[in-house]
């Protein structure tokens, strides 16, 4: 590759990114899932589109897809609130194991008997499409105000179920006979255990180190956190464990450890997550050949209907049978099993292994994902309203930026008063900050001033709070409490500890 070729490649990539960024706004207004637009960009660039680019490297697509999935899982874990997923862990674990097994069996049986596929192809498709897509789930949950108990289940399930599905797809893609079910069960259990142990260990060690080391530049914190999360995936995979589970658990620990500059870290991770999604979907769109999809449209629709109407609801109701989950929540969880890039990436595994009929498996999965994402994604908010499971309007969560003050053994906290915050109209003295913490500066309308105890706070104000190490957490909790409950937060029982599913705030 010459410098001129590099320049052309950079120009094309930057234009694709700009188009994809503009497509996000289009999708948010139209309700059309953005992943379909990204796939469309890839198809348009490909050999059947105006671009005419011929690309058929399934192995490269698989490798880059894995890398993008690691970043997406890390970004999702950093934004996951532990208090939301903690009570949901047993249900998410059941959906990721028992639910996956039921979904694979029902989908494979339907693909064999109704779509006419042989058993190996049917099992491959059943395994590939039984994994909910982390990118799709995290993206949709940002715009659908579901109760925390449901978002916790969906987030944890999408973070957990990639591991068993990858093992099943690899097993069904071998040239020899498939291992016995108890052998597969043992492999899945061992890999999950190894991945969980490594992810928890690296996440805890990374959080401990980040809290006790003051880096010379704030921009280094997001890079270090993402490096720790990615190292968890690599260590888990090299130890023959589940790297996907390891990176998700490590990111959850890091995201809930109140690290310095955590809003900036989440913003950085979110940007990398968007790049990962865009690159993965565009590449998958390039890999597909649209004129080869015609013969597989009907089988894809049939299998997708079996998956959506029969397999997913059956897996949800069977897996959650031991738990007291209302039927409305089970219904929403059944419809919220969103598919996206993950099934398409997993469909490249048999292609790389030269499994007979693997191209047909890929085509069926591609059509299935496109059609049923178009159906499920836009209708999920409507179904949540019909089932009366929306959270409604809530006080906005408060994004607090923290920078370590090493010599003073303290922290500088920065937070903004958003449109939904009940801190509006509260006097500085009424914040009742703990001893050792004080509001030192208020930035309002482009100018800053030192507030007095009677200064009334307004929406759009940015507060700078200095807090010593022992009271830092208490200061953050107090700011959260006032943001949620106003000046009477303590009397109303609001202590700032309850998690809210709200928009993530970036530092200004």
Model confidence pLDDT, tens digit, residues 433-459: 988 889 989 999 888 899 998 899 998
124 in any annotated domain: yes
Tokens of 384: 């949540």
Burial class (CB in 10 A: 0-12, 13-18, 19+), 73: buried
Same domain, 363 and 411: no
**pLDDT band per the 50, 70, 90 thresholds, residue 413:** confident
40 in any annotated domain: no
Among 137-146, 436-445, 485-494, the range of highest mean pLDDT: 436-445
Arithmetic mean of pLDDT, 186-199: 89
Domain harbouring 312, CATH code:
1.20.1530.20
Q: Which domain holds residue 188?
A: 58-386
97 in any annotated domain: yes
Residue 500 has pLDDT above 60, yes or no: no
Among 54-58, 269-273, 399-403, the range of highest mean pLDDT: 269-273
Choosing from 386, 411, 442, the residue where a domain stops is 386
Same domain, 152 and 254: yes
Q: How far apart are CA 171 and CA 176, in angstroms?
A: 9
Q: How far apart are CA 145 and CA 502, in angstroms?
A: 8
**pLDDT band per the 50, 70, 90 thresholds, residue 401:** low
Same domain, 320 and 172: yes
pLDDT in tens, 55-65: 888 888 888 88
Same domain, 107 and 76: yes
Q: What confidence score (pLDDT) does residue 498 get? A: 42
Same domain, 108 and 208: yes
Choosing from 330, 355, 386, the residue where a domain stops is 386
For tokens 């049978």, the residue is 321
Question: Which DSSP category does 241 fall into?
Answer: S
Q: How far apart are CA 41 and CA 46, in angstroms?
A: 9
pLDDT in tens, 77-88: 888 888 878 888
Which is more confident, 199 or 284? 199
Residue 52 has pLDDT above 80, yes or no: no
346 in any annotated domain: yes
Residue 243 has pLDDT above 80, yes or no: yes
Residue 17 has pLDDT above 80, yes or no: yes
Q: How far apart are CA 407 and CA 188, in angstroms?
A: 48
Question: Which DSSP category does 427 fall into?
Answer: B
Residue 142 has pLDDT above 70, yes or no: no
**pLDDT band per the 50, 70, 90 thresholds, residue 249:** very high
Among 114-123, 162-171, 182-191, 496-505, the range of highest mean pLDDT: 114-123
Q: What confidence score (pLDDT) does residue 138 get? A: 65
Q: What confidence score (pLDDT) does residue 141 get? A: 65
331 in any annotated domain: yes
Q: What confidence score (pLDDT) does residue 394 get? A: 44
Stretch among 36-40, 72-76, 94-98, 466-470 having the lowest mean pLDDT: 36-40
Same domain, 351 and 419: no
Choosing from 342, 362, 386, the residue where a domain stops is 386
Q: What confidence score (pLDDT) does residue 140 get? A: 67
Residue 261 in contact with residue 405, Cβ under 8 Å? no
Sign of CA dihedral 241, 67, 73, 506: positive
Same domain, 380 and 456: no
Residue 194 has pLDDT above 90, yes or no: yes
498 in any annotated domain: no
34 in any annotated domain: no
Same domain, 341 and 474: no
Q: Tally the domains of the chain.
A: 2
Work out the mean pLDDT of the chain and round it to a whole number.
82
Tokens of 445: 């309308």
Q: What confidence score (pLDDT) does residue 226 get? A: 94
Same domain, 154 and 229: yes
Q: How far apart are CA 174 and CA 439, in angstroms?
A: 63
User: Could you give the residue ranges of the DSSP H alpha helices within 161-261?
Assistant: 162-172, 181-212, 220-238, 243-255
Q: What confidence score (pLDDT) does residue 310 get? A: 93
Same domain, 249 and 289: yes
Domain harbouring 456, CATH code:
3.30.70.1450
Q: How far apart are CA 229 and CA 217, in angstroms?
A: 20
Q: What is the pTM of this model?
A: 0.73
Which of 167, 156, 181, 347 has the alpha carbon at shortest distance from 242? 167
Same domain, 409 and 311: no
Which is more confident, 210 or 263? 210
Residue 338 has pLDDT above 70, yes or no: yes
Edge-first strand listing for the sheet containing 462-468 = 400-405, 410-416, 462-468, 437-444, 447-449
Q: What confidence score (pLDDT) does residue 254 get? A: 93
Tokens of 304: 């997708």
Residue 295 in contact with residue 49, Cβ under 8 Å? no
pLDDT in tens, 284-312: 888 888 888 888 899 999 999 999 999 99
189 in any annotated domain: yes
**pLDDT band per the 50, 70, 90 thresholds, residue 499:** very low
Three-state secondary-structure class, residue 180: coil
Stretch among 109-113, 199-203, 273-277, 390-394 having the lowest mean pLDDT: 390-394
Same domain, 314 and 252: yes
Dihedrals phi, psi of 93, to nearest 5 degrees? -65, -40
Q: What confidence score (pLDDT) does residue 505 get? A: 36
Q: What confidence score (pLDDT) does residue 110 get? A: 93
């Amino acid at each position: 590759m010459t410098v001129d070729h590099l320049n052309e490649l950079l120009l094309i990539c930057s234009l694709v990114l700009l188009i994809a960024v503009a497509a996000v706004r289009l999708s948010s207004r139209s309700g059309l899932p953005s992943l379909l637009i990204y796939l469309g960009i890839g198809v348009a660039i490909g050999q059947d589109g105006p671009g005419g680019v011929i690309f058929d490297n399934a192995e490269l697509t698989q490798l880059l897809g894995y890398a993008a999935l690691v970043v997406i899982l890390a970004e999702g874990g950093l934004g996951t609130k532990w208090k939301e997923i903690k009570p949901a862990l047993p249900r998410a674990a059941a959906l990721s194991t028992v639910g996956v097994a039921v979904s694979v069996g029902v989908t494979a049986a339907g693909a064999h008997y109704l779509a006419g596929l042989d058993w190996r192809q049917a099992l491959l498709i059943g395994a590939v499409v039984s994994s909910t897509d982390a990118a799709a789930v995290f993206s949709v949950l940002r715009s659908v105000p579901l109760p925390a108990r449901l978002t916790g289940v969906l987030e944890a399930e999408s973070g957990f179920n990639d591991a068993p599905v990858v093992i099943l797809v690899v097993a069904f893609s071998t040239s020899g006979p498939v291992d016995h079910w108890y052998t597969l069960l043992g492999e899945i259990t061992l890999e999950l255990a190894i991945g969980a142990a490594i992810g928890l260990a690296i996440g805890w060690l990374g959080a401990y180190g980040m809290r006790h080391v003051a880096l010379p530049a704030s921009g280094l914190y997001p890079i270090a956190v993402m490096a720790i999360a990615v190292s968890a995936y690599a260590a888990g995979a090299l130890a023959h464990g589940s790297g996907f589970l390891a990176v998700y658990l490590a990111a959850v620990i890091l995201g809930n450890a109140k690290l310095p500059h955590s809003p900036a870290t989440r913003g950085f991770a979110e940007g990398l997550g968007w790049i990962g999604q865009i690159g993965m979907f565009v590449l998958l769109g390039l890999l597909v050949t649209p004129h080869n999809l015609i013969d597989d449209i009907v089988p894809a629709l049939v299998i997708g209907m079996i998956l959506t109407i029969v397999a997913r609801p059956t897996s949800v109701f069977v897996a959650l049978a031991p738990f007291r989950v209302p039927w409305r929540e089970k219904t929403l969880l059944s419809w919220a099993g969103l598919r996206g890039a993950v099934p398409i990436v997993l469909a490249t595994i048999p292609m790389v292994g030269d499994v007979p009929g693997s191209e047909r498996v890929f085509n069926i999965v591609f059509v299935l994902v496109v059609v049923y994402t178009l159906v499920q994604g836009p209708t999920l908010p409507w179904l949540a309203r019909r089932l009366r499971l929306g959270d409604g309007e809530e006080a906005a969560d408060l994004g607090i930026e923290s920078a370590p003050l090493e010599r003073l053994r303290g922290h500088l906290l920065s937070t903004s008063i958003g449109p939904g915050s009940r801190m509006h109209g509260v006097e500085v003295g009424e914040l009742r900050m703990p001893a050792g913490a004080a509001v030192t500066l208020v930035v309002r309308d482009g100018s800053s001033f030192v507030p007095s105890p009677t200064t009334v706070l307004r929406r759009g104000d940015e507060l700078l709070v200095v807090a010593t190490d022992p009271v830092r957490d208490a200061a953050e909790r107090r700011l959260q409490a006032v943001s949620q409950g106003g000046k009477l937060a303590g009397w109303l029982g609001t202590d700032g500890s309850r998690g809210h599913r709200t928009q993530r705030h970036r530092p200004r």
